[in-house]
Each structure stands twice: as C-alpha cells, then as structure tokens.
Structure 1
Amino acid sequence: MSVALLLTGALTAACGGDGGGGADGGDEKIRLTVGTFNDFGYKELYKQYMRDNPNIEIVEHVAEYQTHHTQLATRLAAGNGAPDVVAIEGDFLGQFTAQPQNFHNLLELGAGDLEDRWLPWKWKQSMAGDKVQIGMGTDVGGLAICYRRDLFEKAGLPTDRAEVAGLWPDWKSYIEVGKEFTAAKTGAKFVDSGPLLFNAILGQADAAFYAPDNSLVLESNPAVKQSFDLTSEAVEAGLSANLAAFSPQWNTGFQRGSFATLTCPAWMMAFIQSQAPKTEGQWDVAAVPGGGGGNWGGSWLTVPKQSDHPEEAYKLAAWLTAPEQALTVFKNIGNLPAIPELYKDPAMADLKKPFFNNAPVGQIFTEAATRLQPQYQGPKAAAVRLALQNGIKRVEEGREEPGEAWDKALSDAEKAAQ
C-alpha cells in the first residue's frame, strides 16, 4: 500500500525508481515520520534515502497491526498526530477511502503518471471514487502453503513440493490430507489456526463480505458460509493447533513444530525465519489449494492531510514503492511487489530461499499473484472478518457447535458493519 505525492522535475525521476531520491534543494532539515505495522523491510532503504537526501530525516513508528489502524483512525478524527506517511492494510482500506478528505489526493500531485506501475486492481482499490487516489501499493499477499517436511515425512506423507501440491487440488482435499496427517499421531497439529484457514479459503472467492455498492452480502454470498463450514470441519476433526495469529503461543509454535502447515503469503517467510531460525531446511513451500490464487495482506502508503511536508512525504513514499526498492524488499524479507514488470525479472522470478529447502519462491509467489482475483473490501471489512473469525475460535475452543457459532458470527458481523 503506498503513498503518493508528486513534485516536478527531479522528483519525476525519483518516482520512476531509478535509484536515489535526488536533491531537494535548500538547507532546511525536514523530519518525516512514517507509520507502519509489522516489518515493511524499509530500514536499510531509509538509510539509503537519507544519504541521497541529506536534508531529510526519517523516523519510523511501528505498531501492532490492529493498534496501528486504530491509532490512525483516532488521529485522523482528532485532526492531529498522524504520520507524514502511513501504511494501510487491505482489510482497513475501505474505512479510509471512505474519508478522502483526510488524505492528499495523489492524482493532484502527479501520481497518475505512475498508474501503470502497479497491477490494475491494486491501483483501483485505493481510489476513493473516480477522481481521488489516496495510496500507492507496497505489496500483495499472494498465497502458498508453507509446510514442515520433517513432520510430513514422520506422518508418511510425500515431502517433495510438487507431490505435496498434488495432494490438495482443492480445500476439501487439503482437509482430507490433514485428517490423514492427524491419524499418524506425529504429536503436531496439521494447521496452526482455524481463523487463518478460513481467511485463505474465502480469499479465493470472487467476493467476500461486501458488494461494490458497500452493501453487506454475508448471507447472499454462499462462499462465506462454505468457507466457514469447511473450516469448522477441519477444526472438529482436530486439525487445528488453535493458536491465535501473532500471539506469543503462535510464535512459539513455529519453534516447537506445533503444526505442519500454514497458509503462507509471501511476507510470512520472513516471519517464520525470524521466529524459528533453527528450523532452516525443515520448511518448504507448495502451491495453495484451489488453483494457486488467493491473497492475504497487501498494503498501501498514504499521505494524510495533516502532514506539514506533503511533497517530501510523497517523494519518499513514491521512491519506497518504486520497482527497484520493491524488489529489494522482496529479496530481503519476502513482501511480494504489486508491480507486474518485476514478475519476469530473473532477479525475482528465479529467486530461491535456502531456508525453505531452496524452494523457488519467486516462481511460486509470482504465479500466485497473477492468478489472484481481488475482492472488494467494504468500509468495515476488518471488523466483519473478526466477527466471523471469533465464531471459528468458539468452535475451536469447544464452546459452540458450528451451526450455533455461524448464527452468532453472522449476527455479530452485521452489528460490526453498522
């Protein structure tokens, strides 16, 4: 997800991603704050940008995912406190495209000249109407399955990534493999989390929670109930380790080998490596069930109206999301660029990861990205998703049967959307 703010002349070259940002002129030291969540892989890029632009000082503020977006909403409503450049993730994007008055219209600043840089749908998603663009894309999630080769071998399952992918042409088959794995009694669960499995299954549908007119389609869209039911089947069969994503217990689960598979967007690779460095070579990556598409995550950079330095903020954001920098981020931490010209670049397409048994991750994730069919995300998509995930958690914890959990989740989601 990216931010746009355009100058003229030298700025155009910087936005094109041909290297450094160029001199801004003048002696004034300008401090730019950047608000992100998790790890966007920008730390070394900031250093490069400040070397090339000595009058710019960059300070990054990193918060937990939910906290980051809640704080942004609060600061926008208060009229102060927002960073100069701020990241927004896809589930929250609709909430902020609904308030374009709080962001610089990047089209007015020249970002329209950069439109062809991104996947067409990525550009369109951050449009607020036909004439207002609030962001520039940083990445797309893409989707694969990361799996533990050692645990698959222990369960008597194939370990070769092509054979593994062949086991699950669809999600029903994936769950059946999970039942076979569970019957082998390896001491590990098959999946890490029911809610994350639900996300992946639903992520391949044409639509999720909202129609393009922002009407809620939870009951009229059969894909939502089908995804909930399939996930509930997996949970009731004992496949889930019931570990909440990004919790300390989930993090420890990577180290202990508590689960054999997880739905794995490109950015997850860096997370696995950081949480369980001693498991190098035990992991591998296979195509996701359901034809290789799907998405989890992906963000934009935006420039709030509160910024005292919108032109400089835009210049930085445009440079961070340019092809050269996006490729660097992919190599370093795995965030998959939303820039299709890179997908045929050998530096990306041929990239392999030794940690993941030398898996050809460049090929796997770029293929996933080209098959990706984006869903429209309405204004309360994050809150609606959380209500449904909480329903899955109640099934995991044995507090509700799937039917009861669905009815309550549906009611909670409709309230959350109001």
Structure 2
Amino acid sequence: MKTSRPSRAALAVVAAAALVAGSAAACSGEDDGTITLSVGLFGDFGFGPLYEEYSKLNPEIKFEERIAEFSDHHTNLTTHLATGSGAADIEAVEVGFVSQYTAQPDRFHNLLDLGADELEGQWLDWKWQQALSADGESLIGLGTDVGGMAMCYRTDLFEAAGLPTERDAVSALWAESWDDYVAVGHQYAEATDGAYFFESSGNMFRAMVEQAPEGVYDRDNELIVESNPAISEAWDLSVEAIEAGMSNRLGAWTPEWNAGFNEGTFATIICPAWMTSYIETNAPDASGLWDIATVPGGAGNMGGSHLVLPEQGDHPEEAYAFIEWLTAPEQQLKVFEATGNFPSTPSLYEDEALTGLTKAYFNEAPVGEIFTAAAQAVQPQYQGPLQGDVLATIGQGLGRIEDGSQTPEEAWAQVLNDLESFK
C-alpha cells in the first residue's frame, strides 16, 4: 500500500538500475526466447530475491521492475489505462485505489479466465472480494499483503513523559477508544517539551475511519463524508489533537517524516505491519527504542495491495503464472520475513513459521502474533471508487489546519467543496 517504503533516494537508484537492466533484457530477450515481464510498484515490495528464485525455476522469464512514488504510481497507471499504452505487464494497486479499477474491468485481464477461479479460498474472503468487479464476473488482481493495524511507540519518549513503556501496559492506556488515545496525548504534551505525540493527524484520522462500519462511501457508491457520523467524530477528535499541539505536522513519505523516526521527534504512529520495516529502515540508530502496542478502537485495515494485469500487457499467461506463484502462501511468508508485509493468506495464520516471528529491532516484539490477531479481527469496510483520493483530500484539509493556513471551519468547508468534483 501500498506496504514498506524505503528511502526515495535508494528507490531511485534501484529503479534506474532495474530499468536499464530490464530494457537491455527486453531488447535481446525476444531473440533468445526469453520473456521480460515488467512490474510496476510503489516502494520496495521485497520481490527482488523472488524474481531471482522464479527465474531459476523458469529461465525463460526475466524481470524489469519500475518503482515510482505512491501517488505518481497510481496517477500514471490511470493515465496508461486511459491511453491504452505505457502500463507494465504487472502493476501493484493499493487498497484505496483498487475499487477505482474494478469499476473498469475491461482494462485488465480477467484472472478468472487465467486460472484464478480455482484459488479463491487461498485469501481472506474480503481481500478476494476487493478485486472483484461489481457483477462478480471479473477478478482484476491477486492479493499481496494486508494492513491490520497496531500502534508503534517510542519507549524512551514514553518514559520521559512518565508513561508506562511495556507494550501490554501501553495498550491498556487506550484500550477502550481513540478518546483515550487523545487523553494520553494530552498527558504526554503536558509532561514534555519539544517532542510531539504523533507525526501527523492524517494517519490518525484515516485509522479511525477505517475502523468504522462505513467509511467515505456507502454501497451505492455515494459519498457520505458529510452525513456519516464516524467521519465527523474522527475529524473533530483529530482537530482537538492538532489544537493541543500533538501533531509533528510531517507529510507522509517526505524526508522530514523519514528523519523523524530516527530523531525521535514524535512518540507514536499508526502501525500496520508494513510500517515496521519502514521504521527500521529510516531509524537505524533507534533499535530497541521502538515497540509495538495494540491500536485504539479495535481492529482495522490500513493499506495492502493487489497485483493486476493491465489488458495492454503482451504476456498475460506468463504474468499470471508469476503472480499466482508470487502470492502463494510460501512466498508471502518470505516477504513478511524480509520486509514486514503481512500475508493475506489465512492458511499461514496458524503456522508457527508466521506466528512465532519476532523483531529484535522492536524489543523482540512478537510481530507474527500481533499482526495475525490484527488481520483476523478486521471487519471489512466497503471501498468506493475514489476511496484513496477522498481520504487524501480530507487529509489535506487537516494539513491546512496543522500549518495554520485555515481554521477548522474553513478547512472542512474546502474539503466538502473539493469533494464535489468526485460526485
């Protein structure tokens, strides 16, 4: 979901190298009988070793990985689909955008026609349903990871604020609700100077909304941002936290956000499984200072992706064979071990190889156990056609409150005005 995100500078180098290598393979490959499959991703999905493993099993298949920024990736994919050219053979789609594409299944190869009809029970039911067209006749993607939520926190900053640091005790601080979480934030703000309680209100808002029975759309694909009480409650609580000075006001995926993990400028962050690898990558000097508690408000899902095959791709059978292998439980487990992206295949959820995993970086936190419980507890929420864009628009409104450019009333009014273009 999009899914662990390493430094953007590193991604640029990797992507450039992959593109050069892949282009060379594509130019020469057709002559020697090889096929080069292009794979479009946002961030590092941990597929590198698996490309090598698959090519050893299938020497005729080579890979070209293209990596773009999260928003650019989805914008580019939409453009490529509209123009009929430019898409990779395989594209990753984050959960907030998948419903936009299931509404236009003719732009993708129907995976049910390629053999996926025999695999339905392999995934969490709601993960499978997310990639189905409304009539159930087309499946556009196979699921990679899911983003069952937890809460990562800095033990050193909690200790400095006089708060408990052991993960069960921290979980108990906000066991009942997000109101409890904000109440702890008030305690933290009163006890500290110069360190914020969380990095940005946008993630807090999204987590609260993702836990609600309904989010920004109803099942008729009507926007319910203005009428859904869960939205207004999440907005009001987020505004309260902003006005109390809890937010570090850091934009996600920015260099400042990355640096904040290592420098300890904020104490907590909403933490789907994929976030753990991101923290570890960007805060190498903070090992043992981060730990993992449960998330307020019960279960919820934030992030996760599907792999889709645009109709314009030249090698659908080969591409499908690869993503079927890549999303099988064995490979999903390897990705989790390497990157923290949590499997969407429940056959692993009682496997000690998954549930017994711990992370030394997070004080030996039992990540397998924590995120298995999080994934199993998710109550799926309907995702509307422009889910990701709607949430981003609301997040931008909160950002304008954070930077002082608008009052809460002005920001909400602009959000509603901006959302008119999505109706």
Q: Same fold (TM over 0.5)?
A: yes
- Aligned-partner Cα distance in 2 for 1:363–1:286: 12
- Aligned-partner Cα distance in 1 for 2:376–2:417: 35
C-alpha displacement of 1:414: 2.8
Q: What is the letter of the counterpart of residue 78 of structure 2? A: A
* 2:162 paired with 1:126: no
Q: Which residue of 2 aligns with 1:96?
A: 101
C-alpha displacement of 1:400: 2.3
CA contact 1:383–1:413 (8 Å) conserved in 2: no
SS of residue matched to 1:136: strand
SS of residue matched to 1:139: strand
Q: Which residue of 2 aligns with 1:54?
A: 59
Relative to the length of structure 1, the TM-score reads: 0.92
- Counterparts of residues 381-396 of structure 1 (less than 5 Å): 381-396=387-402
SS of residue matched to 1:138: strand
C-alpha displacement of 1:390: 1.1
SS of residue matched to 1:298: strand
SS of residue matched to 1:240: coil
Q: Which residue of 2 aligns with 1:406?
A: 412
Q: What is the letter of the counterpart of residue 56 of structure 2? A: R
CA contact 1:385–1:413 (8 Å) conserved in 2: no
Q: Deviations over 1:369-414 (max 9, x none)?
A: 1111122111111221111111111111122222332222122123
Q: Which residue of 2 aligns with 1:86?
A: 91
- Aligned-partner Cα distance in 2 for 1:369–1:290: 15
C-alpha displacement of 1:108: 1.0
Q: Deviations over 1:215-253 (max 9, x none)?
A: 111122111111111111111111000000101110111
Deviates more, 1:215-224 or 1:175-184: 215-224
Q: Which residue of 1 aligns with 2:120?
A: 115
- Aligned-partner Cα distance in 1 for 2:155–2:253: 23
- Aligned-partner Cα distance in 2 for 1:398–1:192: 16
CA contact 2:74–2:93 (8 Å) conserved in 1: yes
Q: Deviations over 1:163-211 (max 9, x none)?
A: 0000002100000101111111242100000111111111110111111
Residue in structure 2 matching 1:380, options 383, 386, 402: 386
- Counterparts of residues 145-224 of structure 1 (less than 5 Å): 145-169=151-175, 170-224=177-231
* 2:314 paired with 1:328: no
- Aligned-partner Cα distance in 2 for 1:33–1:392: 37
Q: Which residue of 2 aligns with 1:253?
A: 260
SS of residue matched to 1:241: coil
CA contact 2:160–2:192 (8 Å) conserved in 1: no
CA contact 2:112–2:138 (8 Å) conserved in 1: yes
CA contact 1:254–1:276 (8 Å) conserved in 2: yes
Q: Which residue of 2 aligns with 1:285?
A: 292
Q: Deviations over 1:57-77 (max 9, x none)?
A: 111111110001111111111
- Aligned-partner Cα distance in 1 for 2:331–2:271: 23
* 2:321 paired with 1:299: no
Q: Which residue of 2 aligns with 1:42?
A: 47
SS of residue matched to 1:409: helix
Structure 1: gaps spanning 5 or more residues: 3-25
- Aligned-partner Cα distance in 1 for 2:262–2:220: 44
- Aligned-partner Cα distance in 2 for 1:189–1:239: 5
Q: Which residue of 2 aligns with 1:354?
A: 360
Q: Deviations over 1:299-335 (max 9, x none)?
A: 0001111111100000111111000000001111110
Q: Which residue of 1 aligns with 2:146?
A: 140
Q: What is the letter of the counterpart of residue 200 of structure 1? A: A
SS of residue matched to 1:141: strand
- Aligned-partner Cα distance in 2 for 1:96–1:190: 36
SS of residue matched to 2:156: helix
SS of residue matched to 2:145: coil
SS of residue matched to 2:236: helix
C-alpha displacement of 1:109: 1.2
- Aligned-partner Cα distance in 1 for 2:405–2:344: 40
* 2:118 paired with 1:106: no
- Structure 1 moving runs of 4+ over 4 Å: none
SS of residue matched to 2:37: strand
- Aligned-partner Cα distance in 2 for 1:300–1:382: 14
- Aligned-partner Cα distance in 1 for 2:127–2:85: 28
CA contact 2:400–2:411 (8 Å) conserved in 1: yes
CA contact 2:38–2:90 (8 Å) conserved in 1: yes
Q: What is the letter of the counterpart of residue 203 of structure 2? A: L
- Aligned-partner Cα distance in 1 for 2:121–2:384: 24
Q: Deviations over 1:279-309 (max 9, x none)?
A: 0000000000012x11110100011111111
How many residues are treated as equivalent by the alignment? Answer: 393
- Aligned-partner Cα distance in 2 for 1:252–1:106: 41
Aligned-pair identity (%): 51
Aligned alpha-carbon RMSD (Å): 1.4
- Aligned-partner Cα distance in 1 for 2:332–2:32: 30
- Aligned-partner Cα distance in 2 for 1:210–1:131: 22
